[in-house]
Amino acid sequence: MKATVERTPLPTGREAADVLVVGASAAGLSTVEALRRQGYAGRVTVLGAETHAPYDRPPLSKQVLAGVWDPDRAQLRSREALSALEAEFILGEPAVGLDAATRTVRTASGHTLSADAVVVATGTRPRTFPGQAGLAGVHVLRTLDDALALRDALRAALLDSARLVVVGDGVLGAEIAATARTMGLDVTVAGPQHAPMASQLGPRVAGLLAELHTGRGVRLRPGAGVRGLVGSAGAVTGVGLDSGEVLPADLVVVAIGADPVTGWLQDSGLRVDNGLVCDSRCRAGEGVYAVGDVARWHHDQLGALLRLENRTNAGEQAMVVAANILGGDRAYTPVPYFWTDQFDTKVQVHGFIPTGADAETDADADAGMTVVDGDPATGRFVARYRHAGRVTGVLGWNMPKQTRLRRQDVADALADGPARATALR
Ligand SMILES: Cc1cc2nc3c(=O)[nH]c(=O)nc-3n(C[C@H](O)[C@H](O)[C@H](O)COP(=O)(O)OP(=O)(O)OC[C@H]3O[C@@H](n4cnc5c(N)ncnc54)[C@H](O)[C@@H]3O)c2cc1C
């Protein structure tokens, strides 16, 4: 490893001579690939906290958890493709500090690395309940190791006819419940919303998702705020609700959201506020960029700071970051997109769905929804959403091709300019 080097900021518009990427996952790897594709031949180092070669997370709650994919299939690239990048991967070595002025990163084992450009791609980590770590039978799901541990626990639970409670009614909780139920487990989902993913899908479609789950035998406990976990002799025995009720559980997955991994940036001199705050070029400071789940950047078309936790963003943002490292001046203005697979249903969302938070009532929120293709009654449809007179999003339910075709409606609305686009969020 190199010793610390004093750095002066690069004049804007000059290409970096060497690049250090912190975080060896989807966003970090995509940045390296984009740099090479855009013709960058300089030195690239990738620092990763995990010992695994870069792998993809979406299959972790689906195929890997179900055991239908060998874990190797989740690898993002083959060994050959990685070595063709001619980047140095330093794995199992977390960054613990950054001096943004000199673009110098300290690692857990006491080394320092400096570069002309530093890319922060450290993602998010799961939220937990106090005392959770000391209780056997409680899991989170973020990493490959988490997925394999949970997969084994689900298999054992199946043999023991054990009860699984998933705490959290967001996308991850809903996916884990669907996978576990498909494996044959007794599954209960507890969360505060009236239906799973209501804050992302709006009341009506969340209601359809609730029907999908209950129709397959998942027990939903809507409107159930969770107070904490209950244990005995060091193992979990239940989930305590705000109402005082305790849901009995032999196995619990806590899926109550994730926080950006920014603790290591505390003394960096950069602004950290629900992510690493960046300008519209994804630049957090001179020569320092952020990409993926950890990045909170200014979306010029929305006129607001935005942080997205989805797979497509990791790849799309990386292309803009790479271009700007190489002297470009590109604003990052994506149409946000995510998908989720639950049972045999694929839900895709381009843009934003107005939810109860944007409207007086659920009925008002749904009033902006128009089915433009298919029919919810047949289990295949595309819906377009409006809020304050503008298209805000498109949602597809088992109609991927038709959903994609409607994306342009959202892009056009976004391109209409910041003042009007604020209605989108
Ligand atoms: C189980 C699961 C299922 C998902 N399913 C979907 C889906 O169906 N659709 C969808 O759109 N999105 C999905 N996502 C979200 C998607 O996977 C993420 O948006 C994407 O992984 C973000 O990539 P990232 O590289 O920014 O962050 P991450 O993938 O979190 O990678 C960050 C990397 O940085 C490393 N790191 C952290 N701290 C340090 C440090 N101090 N030093 C060095 N390295 C560090 C971490 O170990 C990690 O490898 C899913 C996520 C999960 C967890």
| 370 CA distance to ligand 1 middle (Å) | 33
Where does residue 78 rank: exposed (0-12), middle (13-18), buried (19+ CB within 10 A)?
A: exposed
Q: How many C-beta atoms lie closer than 10 Å to residue 210's C-beta?
A: 22
Choose which residue among 50, 62, 96, 122 to substitute to test ligand 1 binding: the one with the highest number of ligand atoms within 8 A of its C-beta.
122
Kindly give, in sequence order, each residue whose CB lies less than 8 Å from that of residue 116, ignoring residues fewer than 6 positions away.
7, 10, 16, 17, 18, 19, 103, 287
Task: Please give the Cα distance from 417 to 78 (Å, whole number).
Answer: 42
What are the pLDDT digits (tens) for 30-52?
A: 999 999 999 999 999 999 999 99
Residue 388: predicted pLDDT: 83
| 26 CA distance to ligand 1 middle (Å) | 7
What parts of the chain have a pLDDT lower than 50? 1-14, 357-360, 419-420
Residue 368: predicted pLDDT: 85
Residue 387: predicted pLDDT: 85
Phi, psi of 278 (to 5 degrees): -130, 165
Q: How far is CA 196 from CA 172, 190, 209, 250, in A?
A: 10, 9, 7, 22
Q: How far is CA 16 from CA 38, 118, 281, 314, in A?
A: 13, 10, 15, 21
Query: Is residue 28 in contact with ligand 1, taking CB distance under 6 Å?
Result: yes
Residue 361: predicted pLDDT: 52
Kindly give, in sequence order, each residue whose CB lies less than 8 Å from that of residue 175, ignoring residues fewer than 6 positions away.
61, 62, 340, 341, 342
Residue 416: predicted pLDDT: 82
| 124 CA distance to ligand 1 middle (Å) | 6
Q: Which single residue is written with the structure tokens 């038709």?
A: 402
Contact 199, 214 (CB under 8 A): no
Query: Is residue 142 in contact with ligand 1, taking CB distance under 6 Å?
Result: yes
Closest C-alpha residue for ligand 1 atom 53: 142
Residue 208: predicted pLDDT: 97
